[in-house]
Amino acid sequence: MSKTTLKVLRVSANMTQAEVADKLDIAASTWSKWENGKSYPDVKEIQKIEQLFNIGYSDINFLTSSTV
């Protein structure tokens, strides 16, 4: 099974960046930075992402094609 990017998780859940940010209690700009590989979530946020999308850390690709 290949890893899933944050953008794919969000789009698959039919959510906007603002909606995800609201559910994670973060700024939409923060989620955007994570999605674009400009910064990365800390452990607490990763745990929230895992719960929100029902996915394990090892199945998430935090790098984008532009950051590889």
pLDDT in tens, 29-67: 999 999 999 999 999 999 999 999 999 999 999 886 665
Q: Does domain 4-61 have CATH number 1.10.10.10?
A: no
pLDDT at 53: 97
3-state SS assignment for residue 36: coil
pLDDT at 52: 98
Task: Kindly report the pTM of this predicted structure.
Answer: 0.88
Secondary structure (H, E, C), the chain: CCCEEHHHHHHHCCCCHHHHHHHHCCCHHHHHHHHCCCCCCCHHHHHHHHHHHCCCHHHEECCCCCCC
pLDDT at 67: 53
Q: Structural domain boundaries of the chain?
A: 4-61
